[in-house]
Structure 1
C-alpha cells in the first residue's frame, strides 16, 4: 500500500492543528458540528448534483483505491514480458499457454491468452486499447468528482460564515456573546478552505496520478504483447519497452 495520501492528509491536518495550538487556540473550538455538517454535507451533495448517481458511486469506490492502491510501476512488467518473449521465440506462441497462467498482471495475462488463442494482432490491439480508453474515462470522472468538491467547498464555507454573521447581527444586544459568535462564524470558512486543499483536491490529484501510472502500465503491456505476437527477440522487446517507460538502460543491460 502506498502511504502517500495517508501521510500527506494526516500530516496536513496535524500541521493545521499544531499551528492553531501555537497561536494559543483550542483545537476543540474548531470542531463545531454546524459548520462541519454544512461544509462536508452540502459539498458532497452539490457535487453529486453536478453529475449522476453512477458518478457518485464510482467516486465512492475510488476513495478506497486512493488510500490503499499501490502506484503501478510499468517497469515491473519488463522481466515478465522479456521472459515470455524468449519462450515464444524458442518454442512458439502456443508454448505460452501454461506460462500465461502464472502471470500476475491480469491485463497482461488476458492479452497473452488471447494471443495464444490466435486473435488477430490488430483486433487484439483494438480490444486492449478499448479497455484502456474505458479505464481512462472512468478514472477521469472519479478524479473530477473530488476536484469539483474542492471547488465547491470554499464557497460553501463562505455561505456558512455569512449565516453565522447574520446570527451575530441578531445578537448585538448581547455584546458579551459577540466574540464567541464571530469566531464560530469563521469556522465554516476555515473548514471550507481546509477541506478543499487538504482533502478533496489532493484526493482528486491522487486518483489522476494513479490513473496515469496504471494506463502507462497497460500501454506497456499492449506493446509487449504485440512484440511477442510478432516474434521479436527479447533484446528488441526490452529496448522497445524501455523507450516507452523512459527508464535508463539498454537492451544489453537487461
Structure 2
C-alpha cells in the first residue's frame, strides 16, 4: 500500500474544502450531480474515442498501482539470478528448464527459455531489448490515458459551465434563481480543473514512476541472463548487478 499517494490525495481534498469553509462557503454547495456527470462523462467519452480498447482496458487495470504498486525486490532478483547461474555452471542450461516453466515473471521465463534453446548472444540481447521496449510502450500508453483525461477535463468543465449558464439564462427575470444558476454552472469548471490537477495528472505521473521501476527490474533480469550466457561466475554477476540496487534507491528517493 502506497501511503504517500493516499495521504497526498487526502491532504489536497481537505486543504481545498477547509479553505473554502474558512471563507464562509458551504462544502455541500460544491456538490452538483449534473456538473459531475458532464465533466466525468464527457472526459471519459473523449478518452474512449481516442484510445484503443486494449489500451483503455490496460489503463483501468493499472490504476490500482497508484495506491498498491507492485514491489520488485532487486536484491532477491540478484540472488535468484545467482542461483540460476550456479545451476547452469554445474548442470548446464537444460537444468534451468523447470525454472523457466515455474517462473511467475513472463519476461524472466522468456529469457531463460531463449538461453536454454541456445540462442545466439546477439539474438538473445535483441529479443530481450525488444520485449522490454514493447512492454514499456504498452504500459506508458496506459498511463497516457490518464494524462489525456487531465488534458480534456478542464475543457469539458468549461463546456459544462457554458451549458449551465445557458440554463441559468432561463431565469434572467428572476435574480435570485439566476444567481444560484450561475454559481452551479461554475461548479463544472471547478470539477474539470480539480479532477485534472488533483487526480488524473498525478495518477499519470505516478504510474510512469511505477512503470520505470518495473522496467529497471526487468533490465536487471536481462543483464543477468546475458551475463550467464557469457559464462560469468555468480560472484561476477552479483557485482555487475549491484548497480541496479543503487539505481533503485536513487529513483525511489531513499
Q: Quote how far apart the aligned CAs of 1:117 are.
A: 3.8
Please list every run of 5 or more consecutive structure 2 residues that lacks an aligned counterpart in the other structure: 249-254
Q: Which residue number corresponds to residue 160 of structure 2? A: 160
Aligned partners of 1:34 and 1:246: how far apart in 2? 50
User: What per-residue deviation string (whole Å, max 9, x for no partner) do you get for residues 176-202 of structure 1?
Assistant: 223322221211111111100111111
| Deviates most, 148-157 or 73-82 | 73-82
Aligned partners of 2:97 and 2:151: how far apart in 1? 50
**TM-score w.r.t. length of structure 1:** 0.85
Alignment of 1:170 onto 2:170? yes
| Deviates most, 37-46 or 102-111 | 102-111
Q: Which residue number corresponds to residue 252 of structure 1? A: none
User: What per-residue deviation string (whole Å, max 9, x for no partner) do you get for residues 103-130 of structure 1?
Assistant: 5544324422432343333323333222
Q: Which residue number corresponds to residue 63 of structure 2? A: 63
Contact kept in structure 1, 2:150 and 2:196, CA below 8 Å: yes
User: What per-residue deviation string (whole Å, max 9, x for no partner) do you get for residues 88-146 of structure 1?
Assistant: 33444344345556655443244224323433333233332222122111112111111
Q: Which residue number corresponds to residue 226 of structure 2? A: 226
Alignment of 1:12 onto 2:9? no
Change over 3 Å in CA distance of 1:76–1:13 after alignment to 2: farther
Q: Which residue number corresponds to residue 54 of structure 2? A: 54
Q: Which residue number corresponds to residue 79 of structure 2? A: 79
Contact kept in structure 1, 2:65 and 2:210, CA below 8 Å: no
Q: Quote how far apart the aligned CAs of 1:232 are.
A: 0.5
For these two proteins, the number of residue pairs brought into alignment is 248
Aligned partners of 1:55 and 1:173: how far apart in 2? 50
Q: Which residue number corresponds to residue 138 of structure 2? A: 138
Aligned partners of 1:44 and 1:231: how far apart in 2? 52
Change over 3 Å in CA distance of 1:103–1:56 after alignment to 2: closer
**TM-score w.r.t. length of structure 2:** 0.85
> Helix, strand or coil: the match of 2:24?
coil
Aligned partners of 1:12 and 1:40: how far apart in 2? 19
Change over 3 Å in CA distance of 1:50–1:115 after alignment to 2: same
| Deviates most, 149-158 or 45-54 | 45-54
Alignment of 1:76-225 (within 5 A): 76-98=76-98, 105-225=105-225
Change over 3 Å in CA distance of 1:219–1:174 after alignment to 2: same
| Deviates most, 23-32 or 35-44 | 23-32
Contact kept in structure 2, 1:96 and 1:112, CA below 8 Å: yes
Change over 3 Å in CA distance of 1:172–1:9 after alignment to 2: same
